[in-house]
Amino acid sequence: MTNLIVREDTAVEPAVAPTFTSNAIELRGIVKTYGSEVALHELDLDIRDGEFFCLLGPSGCGKTTTLNIIGGFVGTTGGTVRIAGEDVTKKSPNRRPVNTVFQSYALFPHLTVIENVAFGLRMARVSKAERTRRAQDALDLVGLGAFSSRPVAKLSGGQAQRVAVARALVNKPKVLLLDEPLGALDLKLRKRLQTELSIIQRQVGTTFVFVTHDQEEAMALADRIAILNEGRIEQMGTPEEIYRTPRTRFVAEFIGESNILNGRRVGTEFELENGARVPIAATASADTTALVVRPESLRIDADGFLDAEIVSRAYLGSITRVVLKLAGSEQLVVSTISDHALEHLDESTLEIGRRVRVSWSLKAAHPIAEH
């Protein structure tokens, strides 16, 4: 919509309307090549204001390159980068409203915790009283309020990473970029910091863009996830959307465990490679080439529609994982049974070598169409 300014002399002219955007970041047609290698292929990506967004994918898929392009540490070969509505494609990192937390904490070892956090404010010539107050607030936010005068050399890995987060948030950036920030920590600490980061992000409301190759971490943290594969976005959505309705075989395999059953649609049914026919949703495309059934949806029951044999079984505490071989094929499928459901099963049902039948509900079989 064009805004009109009415001057005193009654001349009317259009004003430049501020671009209202609820997107913190907009990438359009981003291409990045290194010599003859294409790291990103015309990537389009919108990250909303205030969301916790994860870039997820295997090593070399282009996550860090995407993050570095947003931060301005790496130039683009083509395309535009907008942050908070402003085209920053040609701007240097320090002129973008963005801060970054790296896996290596990159703290100044000769400074104390609070001096590290206040460092950027000092460079920006913020008064001493003001920078101490803001740095202390940032440290309180990450739960290190009592550590301000400690030398950073005397911090644990988890504490150092919290200081790095406080330092990155102290000047209130619009966007915080985090490149595998928990990658160097052991699993238990990593999980604790995931919870803390998620609480901090909700408290400050800053847009977080978080790079990880760990799908569980992305699922635990993200409002939305983009899954990258070889420089392209395979799928973008909430953790639930991606888990329940993977669009491609790659996504189904990358997120969680999947039973991928190849075959073809025949009328109202789906014919598996072993010739057995199973139900398929009426809305599934005629080009469906596979059904994805999650292990928790694969049921072992006497009324099932597929014959199978139990190959192995492992009690894992909250679930029991059962591997089965489908009759007439070499395909193995996995069924997980909750501990609660296990209590109601006759033990002999899960004997190794036992022939059983399996099934799933129609809505638990997600169709994938490939061309």
71 lies in the site for ligand ATP, by CB under 6 A: no
CB nearer to ligand ATP: give 62 or 256: 62
Name which of 73 and 119 has its Cβ closer to ligand ATP.
73
Does 64 engage in binding with ligand ATP (CB under 6 A)?
A: yes
φ and ψ of 363, to 5 deg: -75, -10
In the list 62, 239, 295, 367, the residue contacting ligand ATP (rule: CB under 6 A) is: 62
Closer Cβ to ligand ATP, 55 or 242, answer by number? 55
Identity of the residue, 102 or 119, whose beta carbon is nearer to ligand ATP in the bound complex: 102
Residue 277, strand partner residues = 271
Query: In the complex, what is the shortest distance from the CB of residue 146 to ligand ATP, in angstroms, rounded to a whole number?
Result: 35
Asked if 61 is part of the footprint of ligand ATP (rule: CB under 6 A), the reply reads yes
- Taking CB under 6 A as the criterion, the residue among 43, 63, 209, 261 binding ligand ATP is 63
Q: Is 348 in the site for ligand ATP (CB under 6 A)?
A: no
**Candidate residues 28, 50, 60, 296; the one interacting with ligand ATP per rule CB under 6 A:** 60
Q: Indicate which single residue of 57, 181, 237, 295 sits in contact with ligand ATP (rule: CB under 6 A).
A: 57
Contact 138, 167 (CB under 8 A): yes
Residue 358 in contact with residue 298, Cβ under 8 Å?
yes
The DSSP bridge partners found for residue 34 are: 37
Amino acid code (one letter) for 198? S
Token pair of 316, please? 């894992």
173 binds ligand ATP (CB under 6 A): no
Q: By the 8 A CB rule, do 184 and 103 touch?
A: yes
Largest Cα span, the chain: 92
Q: By C-beta, is 43 or 333 nearer to ligand ATP?
A: 43
Least distance between ligand ATP and beta carbon 229 (Å): 10
Question: What mask of x and - would describe binding to ligand ATP in positions 264 to 303, judged by CB under 6 A?
Answer: ----------------------------------------
Side-chain-side CA neighbours of residue 204 (13 Å): 26
The H or E element that residue 249 is part of is helix 249-254
In this structure, what are the phi and psi dihedrals at residue 148, rounded to the nearest 5 degrees? -60, -35
255 binding ligand ATP? (CB under 6 A): no
Q: 275: phi > 0 → left, psi -120 to 50 → alpha, else beta; which?
A: left
Please report whether residue 181 would count as binding ligand ATP according to CB under 6 A: no
Closer Cβ to ligand ATP, 208 or 270, answer by number = 208
Select the span of 34-42, 122-130, 292-300, 331-339 touching ligand ATP (CB under 6 A). Answer: 34-42
Q: What is the DSSP string of 178-242?
A: EESTTTTS-HHHHHHHHHHHHHHHHHH--EEEEEES-HHHHHHH-SEEEEEETTEEEEEE-HHHH
Q: Binding string to ligand ATP for residues 196 to 215, with x set by CB under 6 A, is what?
A: -----------------x--
Residue 150 to residues 114, 132, 154, 323, Cα–Cα distance (Å)? 8, 15, 7, 53
Residues 88-107 that bind ligand ATP (CB under 6 A): none
Which residues sit at the interface with ligand ATP, rule CB under 6 A? 34, 37, 39, 57, 59-65, 213
